[in-house]
Structure 1
Amino acid sequence: MRVLHTADFHAGRNLRGFDRTPEVQGALTEIAALARSEGVDAVLVSGDLFDTVNPSAEAEATVFDFFLRLRDAGIPAVVIAGNHDSAARLHGLAGLLGWVGVQLVAQPTANPLDLIRTVETKRGETLTVGALPFLSERRLVKAADLLGGDVGAWRQKYREGMGFFLRKVAEGFRPGGVNMLMAHATMDGAVPSGSERTMQFDLLNAYTLSPLQLPSAAQYVALGHVHKPQQASEMPLAHYPGSVIQLDFGEAGEKKQVNLVEVEPGRPARVTPIPLASGRELRTVRVTLDNVDARLAALNGFAGLVKVVVRAPSGTALPGLKDRVLRMVPNTLAVELDAVQEDLALPELRREGLSLTELYERFHQERRGELPGDLRAAFREADEAARGEEATLGEGVGA
């Protein structure tokens, strides 16, 4: 049996005001063509179809066109909702998408076995998929309440709650068939892309799953949520295919892919990554004021999207720099200043260990020039008097 695993479309993604949806559409068209050319029996999509809970009409058209292309090729799909998706919105579309061969699981019900989906291949084989959509702590508590669980305890025990669903899903696996698990979650040890949304990742990373919690009966675990392609577990075999394009500058340089999974009953799965060619390359270029022109000239002919980071002393005014960069590199989406605090960058300008008088002398030197001797003496006298008063007050407090 041949299964194509993908995830994290993020249709509707907007990067610094630039709509990435056409690039996502190109990637999904490429993936649908790969599904056909590779003769796969099913496609698994592990969440984050959209970038926001209220996607644009163009974003919806992009995703639905992908499913129609699979329908035209006679390839069924199993899909789960991710944390960027509106679970309620997708749940409302599940029945409609079923008409084009898409089995979509957006949220759990009172019966965990509703998370089980089966696909019958043209050769008469059966693929059983335990489809576990993204469950935030809030959703997990609500699901626990539906199932009569101890909500108060589950509120503090995310892993135990997820473990409950994983065990229930495993009960639906069929001996003698092909069994897979889908989940949109963070595994222990997962390596993020260095995405610009690191704060969001850190918050979500507080709730992780251990590979030891994955059901051993799963021959392959199709993960979504982390954008960097990687293997997350060896036993059972679990993979993140990653996002379908470089979504932000934190993903610059990453090669995007989908996973072709070949598996038969009772045997470990074999995973072959298939690289994707769609999507514009992202690049961050770091320059100094001395080499701006030379570094930007090297980007002549680069068709991707650029972020330029200019390193300059703190407080430096850079009028017209952004317009200058855009004239040289029109595909620049951002120009940022990396301010360097000189007292930290240059040993001779460090302020650590200096007296108050020495700090004032340096301040005067930077702003008005050499500190006159009489002013230095007056400042030192005032400083000593102030420190003497502090000492006297300290003795009074101690008494």
Structure 2
Amino acid sequence: MRVLHTADFHAGRNLRGFDRTPEVHEALNEIAALAKSERVDAVLVSGDLFDTGNPSADAEHAVFDFFLRLRDAGVPGVVIAGNHDSAARLDSVTGLLGWVGIQAVAQPTANPVQMVRHVETRSGETLTVGALPYLSERRLVKAADLLGGDTGAWRQKYREGMGFFLRRLGEGFRPGSVNMLMMHATLDGAVPSGSERTIQFDLTNQYTLSGLQLPAGAQYVALGHIHKPQTVSDAPLACYPGSVIQLDFGEGGEKKQINLVEVSPGRPAQVHPVPLASGRELRTVRVDLENVEARLEALKDFPGLLKVVVRAPAGTALPGLKDRVLRVAPNTLAVDLDAAQEDLLVPDLRREGLSLLDLYERYHQERRGELPDDLRAAFRQADEAARTEEEVL
């Protein structure tokens, strides 16, 4: 049996105001073509189909067009919701996806065995998938356990909750079938990309799973959530295929891939990485202030997208710097000061003492421009509601 494993599409991703959805769509077309040319029996998508819970029409078109292409190639699939996906939204279209041969598991059920999916493949063998969508830490760790507890206790409580689901999913494996586990989570030892979303990783890395918790009957564990391709366990074999394009500058230079898994019932799986060619290359360039034009002139034929970090003496006035960069390199999405100089040159860039709303406004300003008043009000309302809920708990 040949199974194609992919994850982390993030359709709808907007990087510094630049829509990456067309590149994601191109990558998904490439993956669908690979599914056909490699004569795969099934496709597994381990979460984060979309970048936000309310994706754009173009983002939905990219993902659903991918599933239609798989249907045209006669390739069934199983998908789960990731932490960026709206589980309720994905759950609402599971019936429609089923019509094109895609089994979606968007939300956990009280009986985890109901999250086991069986796929009859054209090879004549059955693929059994224990499909565990993203489970937030908040759903598994009670507030009462957090009060006065240390971080180690929180992690242990999370592991115990996840362990319950993993054990029950393992009970759904069948003898004589190819048995796989699929989930969207962080395993111990996983190495993240150098993502710009450091705050997100600081949070998620507090809650990890041990490879020892994976059901022994799983011949392959199809993971999603970490954007850097890697193998994190050998027994059972557990892999992240990574994101399908370089999603932000922290992933610059990474080679993107899908995993082609060859496996038979009762036999060890073999994984063959297949490189992807889609998506524009991202590159961070560090330049000295006096050499900005000369350094960037050498990159005038670079077809990808640039982030330019300018080194300048502390206290230097930098009016018109972004315009200088864009005149030479119009494919630049970001012009930043050297990290060592930022606090000295622009004191208001410091994070100390900033509220959650302040941080969100800065995030929105960097990536999409000024924060609209209605979005600011909605964020403030959601933040206040979350604080009220915590006080009640």
Deviations 1:45-77 (A, max 9, x none): 000000000000110010000000000011001
**Aligned partners of 1:281 and 1:303 also within 8 Å:** yes
Residue type at the aligned position of 1:4: L
**Contact between 2:155 and 2:208, CA under 8 Å: does it hold in 1?**
no
Distance 2:236 2:156 in 1: 27
Question: For residue 194 of structure 2, what is the aligned residue in structure 1?
Answer: 194
> Cα 1:314–1:188, aligned 2, differ >3 Å: closer, same or farther?
same
- Any conservation in 2 of the 1:314–1:340 contact (CA below 8 Å)? no
1:232 aligns with 2:232: yes
Q: What per-residue deviation string (whole Å, max 9, x for no partner) do you get for residues 338-387 of structure 1?
A: 16569x9xxxxxxxxxxxxxxxxxxxxxxxxxxxxxxxxxxxxxxxxxxx
Instruction: Report if aligned partners of 1:285, 1:309 keep a CA contact under 8 Å in 2.
Output: yes
Which structure 1 residue ranges, 4+ long, deviate > 2 Å from structure 2? 138-142, 153-156, 339-342
Letter in 2 for 1:81: A
Whole-angstrom CA distance in 1 between matches of 2:198 and 2:9: 18
| Residue of structure 2 in register with 1:396 after alignment | none
For the residue of structure 2 that corresponds to 1:265, the secondary structure is: coil
Return closer, same or farther for 1:42/1:339 CA change in 2, 3 Å cut-off.
closer
SS at match of 1:66: helix
- Partner residue in 2 for 1:209: 209
Is the 8 Å Cα contact of residues 314 and 339 (structure 1) preserved in structure 2? no
SS at structure 2 position matched to 1:272? strand
* Corresponding letter in the other structure for 2:215: P
Give yes or no for the alignment of 1:177 onto 2:164. no
2:347 is matched with which residue?
A: none
Aligned residue pairs total: 333
What RMSD over aligned residues (CA atoms) do the two structures have, in Å?
A: 1.7
**Does structure 2 conserve the Cα–Cα contact (< 8 Å) formed by 1:154 and 1:160?**
no
Could you tell me how far 1:154 is from its partner in structure 2?
8.9
Residue 380 (structure 2) aligns with: none
Does the 8 Å CA contact 1:181/1:220 hold for their aligned counterparts? yes
Q: Which residue of 2 aligns with 1:287?
A: 287
Between stretches 58-67 and 314-323, larger displacement belongs to 314-323
SS for the counterpart of 1:157 is helix
Structure 1 residues not aligned, in runs of 5+ = 143-152, 345-399
The offset of 1:138, in angstroms, is: 2.3
Give runs of aligned pairs for residues 1-399 of structure 1, distance below 5 A.
Answer: 1-140=1-140, 157-338=157-338, 340=340
Residues 12 and 56 of structure 1 are in contact (CA less than 8 Å); yes or no, is this contact kept in structure 2?
yes
Unmatched segments (≥5 aa) in structure 2: 143-152, 345-393
Cα pair 1:259 1:273 within 8 Å, conserved: yes
Which protein has the larger Cα radius of gyration, Structure 1 or Structure 2?
1
What secondary structure is seen at the aligned counterpart in 2 of 1:227?
A: coil
The C-alpha deviation readout for 1:234-284, integer Å capped at 9, x for no partner, is 100000000000000000000000000000011110000000000000000
1:131/1:182 contact within 8 Å kept = yes
CA distance in 1, matches of 2:163, 2:244: 29
Provide the C-alpha distance between the structure 1 equivalents of 2:53 and 2:328, rounded to a whole number of angstroms: 37
The answer to whether the 8 A contact 1:312-1:339 is kept is no
Flag the 1:21–1:341 CA change in 2: closer, same or farther, 3 A. Answer: closer
What letter corresponds to residue 192 of structure 1 in structure 2? Answer: P
Partner SS, residue 221 of structure 1: strand
Cα distance in structure 2, aligned partners of 1:72 and 1:320: 52
Determine helix, strand or coil for the equivalent of 1:34.
helix
For each residue in 1:106-130, what CA deviation from the matched residue of structure 2 results, as whole angstroms up to 9, or x when unmatched?
1111211111001111232100000
